[in-house]
């Protein structure tokens, strides 16, 4: 006798409480192996394939694609030992109890557990309920119930699915020709009383209904022709207004909404900004990327240079690399810089995190940004790669805008926003010239510092953008 084990949605980590079913990877009746992925879910942080810790036959699935399940809710049930029972001869009814007791140890051995450990699921004996398997699920199936092939029912005719006296039931029609004739003339067979044996609807009944419908239509046309044209005006006004579309806040969009709302409600933020001449920074980047030989290397992006400038600025102003512990009423200054950067994907806005950015140079930061960006575009970022940031860099200039007042990525204390770099008139060396200008904006938590600290940070970043040689002091 097989044993039915229930596999529940595991805790996927990072405090996630629910997940949305994106795609089932197995069907009911499929044979699954231990640790085989059975469903693809989307959490607030990433897309995850969930492996099943049991091997056997899938007997039930819980939840449709697109539905949300809380952590701990049943995902599916697996009949462990069902594959062996199906391959062996079926026991007789009189020996069923003996086979059940003999098969229990084998079922327990098969369900010893998975080597793929999920949060909340170990590799020891699983806490599972034993359920009796109906004969048609495992072993040699019992004689199947007779399956009645349904008669072809008109699908395109709304009346075919109507109700008569509040009830629905089979239509007493045998001939497909009668059904087709009714479908062609939009006759609701459920409203006809058959003149044949036992109320069977004949073709003559349908022909009579067609004639009645045609006579009613002609009578309605004559009545409409005799009514004054003015009566048509109220009819045009009676059109129902279009219904508003409702989009559920869930998945990535729901997580972003929750985090931004929490940031606005908890953090007293302020924003300061400055325009900077980025001509020298762009020239320095061009020189780096044009270098060849021993001094050459991978291309360095503008975002990587700005990220390196941020780590240097945070070393000078560590107040902005902190968080606020509201319960303890303490400011917690963090020892390392884990730099998040905003990335727009098809799933929505995500913020991958470059770990230990303060220990990296511009080339290393650029390579990590490129790697994480590619994972974000393919939806393969893990929850660990989307959490733990201490400061965020937001390059909204890629959208063609100059400035913004970004919302802090809770529970961080600050975010630097960068607008587009574009040619503008600028006074350079006492003369008016066309220079590459960028707007920098800093939104900061006013609890961790005053405006002087925030202004000093932003001014240092602008100085490094205008004169990249300033960074040589900290190299």
**4 bridge partner residues:** 79
Q: How far apart are CA 268 and CA 444, in angstroms?
A: 8
Whole-number Å distance between alpha carbons of 213 and 337? 78
Asked if residue 411 has a cis previous peptide bond (ω within 30° of 0), the answer is yes
- Burial degree of 365 (CB within 10 A; 0-12, 13-18, 19+): buried
Q: How far is CA 250 from the centre of its chain?
A: 7
Residue 202's beta-bridge partner residues?
none
Q: Among 448, 463, 471, which Cα is nearest to 323's?
A: 448
Look up 410 and say whether it is catalytic.
no
Q: Which of 338, 358, 410, 446 is catalytic?
A: 446
E strand or H helix that includes residue 359: none
For the CA atoms of 270, 45, 353, 384, the dihedral, rounded to the nearest 10 degrees, stands at 130
d(CA 36, CA 230): 70
Cα-based distances in Å from 302 to 286, 295, 366: 10, 19, 9
The residues that bridge with 269 in the sheet, in sequence order, are 445
Distance separating alpha carbons of residues 142 and 114, to the nearest angstrom: 32
Residues taking part in catalysis: 446
């Amino acid at each position: 006798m097989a044993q039915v084990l229930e596999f529940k949605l595991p805790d996927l980590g990072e405090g996630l409480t629910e997940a949305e079913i994106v795609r089932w990877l197995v069907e009911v009746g499929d044979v699954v192996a231990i640790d085989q992925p059975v469903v693809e879910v989307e959490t607030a942080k990433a897309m995850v394939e969930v492996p099943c810790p049991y091997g056997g036959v899938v007997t039930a699935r819980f939840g449709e694609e697109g539905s949300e399940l809380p952590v701990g809710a049943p995902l599916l049930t697996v009949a462990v030992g069902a594959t062996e029972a199906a391959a062996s001869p079926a026991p007789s009814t009189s020996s069923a109890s003996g086979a059940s007791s003999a098969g229990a140890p084998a079922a327990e051995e098969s369900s010893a557990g998975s080597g793929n450990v999920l949060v909340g699921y170990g590799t020891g004996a699983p806490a599972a309920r034993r359920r009796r398997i109906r004969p048609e699920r495992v072993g040699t199936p019992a004689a199947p119930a007779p399956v009645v092939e349904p008669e072809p029912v008109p699908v395109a005719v709304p009346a075919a699915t109507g109700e008569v006296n509040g009830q629905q039931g089979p239509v007493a029609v045998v001939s497909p020709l009668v059904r087709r004739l009714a479908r062609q003339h939009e006759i609701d067979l459920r409203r006809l009383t058959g003149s044949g044996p036992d109320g069977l609807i004949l073709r003559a009944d349908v022909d009579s209904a067609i004639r009645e419908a045609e006579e009613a239509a002609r009578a309605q046309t004559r009545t409409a022709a005799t009514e004054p044209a003015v009566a048509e005006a109220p009819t045009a006004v009676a059109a129902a207004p279009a219904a508003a579309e409702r989009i559920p806040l869930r998945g990535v969009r729901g997580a972003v909404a929750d985090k931004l709302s929490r940031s606005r409600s908890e953090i007293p933020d302020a924003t300061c900004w400055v325009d900077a001449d980025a001509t020298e920074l762009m020239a320095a980047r061009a020189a780096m990327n044009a270098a060849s030989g021993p001094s050459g290397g991978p291309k360095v992006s503008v975002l990587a240079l700005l990220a390196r400038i941020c780590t240097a600025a945070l070393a000078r102003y560590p107040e902005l690399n902190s968080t606020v512990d509201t319960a303890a009423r303490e400011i917690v200054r963090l020892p390392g810089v884990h730099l998040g950067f905003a990335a727009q994907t098809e799933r929505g806005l995500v913020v991958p995190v470059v770990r230990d950015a303060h220990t990296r140079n511009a080339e290393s930061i650029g390579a990590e940004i490129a790697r994480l960006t590619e994972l974000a575009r393919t939806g393969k970022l893990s929850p660990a790669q989307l959490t733990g940031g201490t400061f965020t860099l937001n390059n909204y200039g890629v959208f063609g805008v100059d400035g913004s007042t970004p919302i802090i990525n809770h529970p961080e204390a600050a975010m630097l926003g960068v607008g587009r770099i574009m040619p503008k008139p600028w006074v350079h060396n006492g003369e008016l010239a066309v220079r590459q200008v960028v707007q920098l904006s800093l939104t900061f938590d006013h609890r961790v510092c005053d405006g002087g600290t925030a202004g000093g940070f932003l001014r240092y970043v602008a100085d490094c953008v205008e004169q990249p040689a300033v960074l040589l002091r900290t190299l």
